[in-house]
Amino acid sequence: MKSFWTKKTKGQIRGKHIWRILASWIITQGVLLGTPAFADNTQKSLTYSQLLEKIKAGEVTEIDAYPSQGIAKVSLEGQKNNEPMYTVNLFEYNPELLDQIRDQKINFEVKRSPDNSAAMGLVFNILIVFVVITVLLTILRRTGQSQGNALNFGKSRARFQMEAKTGILFDDVAGIEEAKEELQEVVTFLKKPEKFTAIGAKIPKGVLLVGPPGTGKTLLAKAIAGEAGVPFFSISGSEFVEMFVGVGASRVRDLFRKAKENAPCIIFIDEIDAVGRQRGAGIGGGNDEREQTLNQLLTEMDGFEGNTGIIIIAATNRPDVLDAALLRPGRFDRQVIVDLPSYNGRLGILEVHARNKKLTSEVSLGAIARRTPGFSGADLANMLNEAAILTARRRKEAITSLEIDDAIDRVTIGLSLAPLLDSKKKRLIAYHEVGHSLLMTLLKNSDPLNKVTIIPRSGGVGGFAQPVLDEGMIDSGLYTRAWLIDRITISLGGRAAEDEIFGPAEVTVGAANDIRSVANLAREMVTRYGMSDLGPVALENPSEEVFLGRGWQSQQSEYSEEVAIKIDHQVRAIAFRCYEEARRIIRENRVLMDRLVDLLIDKETIEGDEFRQIISEYTTLPEKQLSINLPKK
């Protein structure tokens, strides 16, 4: 979840980080030079707190800072010109001091050290400029905070973008036809408002696009502006919410002022949940800045008549956390769902993005669409781009299905790395993956194997056994109990193979992900799908991450301790049963296993067809495996 919280912490960390780097530079400088610059005994000194007092009392006339030495030289009132200045040791970070200097209008100068060698001088100059800029920025930020935007920060740093012409049309957006249809109307509002106003209809002000990341919400908003030929103003919710109070609200004001000057137009607010979250809720309580910003947004939305020709489109993937005030009539009262694309949608999106790419004729977009359930539009665009990059790298004329395959793996699993040298580790990984693959091929309800490989991938993946995805099942989401049980058994196949072949003492942590997914799946079977001896009782709501927007107390479980124990028993029973089954199958096919492992170590990758071919020499394959119609590449 992207939110202002994370942003804020990042900012703070970054801030600290800069100071640490600065400090270490200063120390390094000190070590390098090693020259006490002000070694004369005639100097008088003040402590830091004395200095602050003197400034307060108005006795200080001039301060020269020497950041390189971490000191400042100070002249006091009544001090003669030839009298030496007072020396004050500074901290690396002196916000109060700088505040006071500014308040009292004291002559303030940052000086370079008098005894630098020429080479060091350059470094110093850069360093000093850096220090001064950082210090000034810090002061500015603090001022903004303490004096309520006295410097008109929001205005001076307009953070919204304006595009007079987005150049994007509805044709560039595929796969979300219902959303497009609904938004077609908005285009008409913008183009021919008379049509609606003539009969007294009010033009809607706000449309909320709801959907997971990468499904084309931004693209869709741009397409509306493009189709209607109006300017497109955009800002991200997280940009409203800065570290200091008042800036967000003033940005909202600026944005709406600019938009009114350019009406008709579209205002697009991305990630609106960053500002539009329920007020006064969540862990850590409310946040003034965010609430002010949200209030300003609400005020602005009420402040213009529906017919000025400004339509606000906001995007979020968390409509549930939004403040109710945002959703009431007259604000974002229209919600349009932008969901992950289905098969046809994916095909459409692939067609859009294949327009400007050269593909060989054997590449079938339909086959790619079938193999990529769960991909968002952005994933698909990214995947095709990866394939194009690979093609260029391999000096080919056009993208072949080989590059597509590699790109899909790269996007879903990670970059492939150099193969391991033959070793015990490689052998263990091979047994693990063949364990998965064997079960995938021998179990009745399993999706068939697409390929198994022991070429490692980035992110610590040693290899993988990949099923052919059954797009009917994935798109409909109707997984059967038998399928789930087989899925669990397959997931345990890796560990089962390690256990059978190398013994219980040699099993590795490589199975951690498998084990995790087994636990999740088995638990869901028991608590959500009613697929255990506990009966068809839903015991848990779909697990939702605890987010900061709304009460997290309501996340408590809805059953007693006693039931919790029963659930654990059931979950464990499922896992144990599946594990035993996996071990049994592997034990009974030991000879076959050894042969497959030798082949895998030799070839690094075995395609599903070849794998099934070998297995069929030893035993008969289940029906589903025989009848599979692999997407031809």
* Residues that bind Zn ion in the complex, under the rule CB under 5 A: 494, 514
Q: In what helix (H) or strand (E) does residue 210 lie, and over which residues does it extend?
A: strand 206-210
Which of 377, 456, 467, 493 touches ligand ADP (CB under 6 A)?
Answer: 377
Question: Which residue do the tokens 């706000």 mark?
Answer: 206
Kindly state the tokens that stand for 225.
């502006």
Candidates 82-90, 212-220, 271-279, 322-330; binding stretch for ligand ADP (CB under 6 A): 212-220
Candidates 120-128, 186-194, 374-382, 461-469; binding stretch for ligand ADP (CB under 6 A): 374-382
Site for ligand ADP in 333-372 (CB under 6 A): 349, 352
Return the C-alpha torsion angle 177, 183, 188, 191, nearest 10: -110
Candidates 207-215, 285-293, 531-539, 573-581; binding stretch for ligand ADP (CB under 6 A): 207-215
User: Active-site residue 433, yes or no?
Assistant: yes
Determine the distance from the C-alpha atom of residue 618 to the mean position of all C-alpha atoms in its chain, rounded to a whole number.
47
Rounded Cα gap, residues 119 and 131, in angstroms: 19
In the bound state with Zn ion, the residue whose beta carbon lies nearer, of 300 and 514, is 514
Cα dist from 361 to 243, 390, 407, 435, 501, whole Å: 54, 18, 18, 37, 45
The binder of 514, among Mg ion, Zn ion, ligand ADP, none, by C-beta within 5 to 8 A per type, is: Zn ion
Q: Are 161 and 268 in contact (CB under 8 A)?
A: no
Rounded Cα gap, residues 590 and 491, in angstroms: 18
Work out how close the CB of 356 gets to ligand ADP at its nearest, in angstroms, rounded to a whole number: 11
> In this chain, which residue has its C-beta nearest to Zn ion?
494
Candidates 87-95, 167-175, 319-327, 532-540; binding stretch for ligand ADP (CB under 6 A): 167-175
Work out how close the CB of 510 gets to Zn ion at its nearest, in angstroms, rounded to a whole number: 7
Point out which residues bind Mg ion (CB under 5 A). Answer: 218
| 3-state class (DSSP) for residue 490 | helix
In the bound state with Zn ion, the residue whose beta carbon lies nearer, of 221 and 452, is 452
Which of 58, 84, 121, 213 touches ligand ADP (CB under 6 A)?
Answer: 213
219 touching ligand ADP, by CB under 6 A: yes
Candidates 45-53, 73-81, 173-181, 271-279; binding stretch for ligand ADP (CB under 6 A): 173-181
Query: Which residue in the list 227, 289, 433, 498 is annotated as catalytic?
Result: 433
Least Cα distance to 508 among 426, 600, 603 occurs for 426
Least Cα distance to 330 among 290, 298, 308 occurs for 298
Work out how close the CB of 349 gets to ligand ADP at its nearest, in angstroms, rounded to a whole number: 4
Burial class (CB in 10 A: 0-12, 13-18, 19+), 357: middle
Work out how close the CB of 212 gets to ligand ADP at its nearest, in angstroms, rounded to a whole number: 7
CA angle 224, 229, 233 (to 5 degrees): 65
**Which of the 8 DSSP states describes residue 40?**
-
Phi, psi torsion values for 288, nearest 5 degrees:
-55, -50
Work out how close the CB of 357 gets to ligand ADP at its nearest, in angstroms, rounded to a whole number: 13
Which of 216, 264, 467, 494 touches ligand ADP (CB under 6 A)?
Answer: 216
Rounded Cα gap, residues 385 and 455, in angstroms: 23
In the bound state with ligand ADP, the residue whose beta carbon lies nearer, of 238 and 296, is 238
Determine the distance from the C-alpha atom of residue 165 to the mean position of all C-alpha atoms in its chain, rounded to a whole number.
28
In the bound state with ligand ADP, the residue whose beta carbon lies nearer, of 259 and 315, is 315
In the bound state with ligand ADP, the residue whose beta carbon lies nearer, of 1 and 378, is 378
608 touching ligand ADP, by CB under 6 A: no
Binding residues for ligand ADP, rule CB under 6 A, total 17
Q: Are 479 and 473 in contact (CB under 8 A)?
A: yes
Residue type, 304: F
Work out how close the CB of 631 gets to ligand ADP at its nearest, in angstroms, rounded to a whole number: 22
Kindly state the tokens that stand for 46.
């003040």
In the bound state with Mg ion, the residue whose beta carbon lies nearer, of 218 and 238, is 218
| 3-state class (DSSP) for residue 449 | strand
Q: Is the sign of the CA dihedral 406, 409, 414, 418 positive or negative? A: negative
In the bound state with ligand ADP, the residue whose beta carbon lies nearer, of 356 and 554, is 356
Phi, psi torsion values for 489, nearest 5 degrees:
-60, -45
Work out how close the CB of 218 gets to Mg ion at its nearest, in angstroms, rounded to a whole number: 3
Query: Would you tell me which residues interact with ligand ADP (CB under 6 A)?
Result: 173-176, 213-219, 315, 349, 352, 377-378, 381
Catalytic residue numbers read: 433
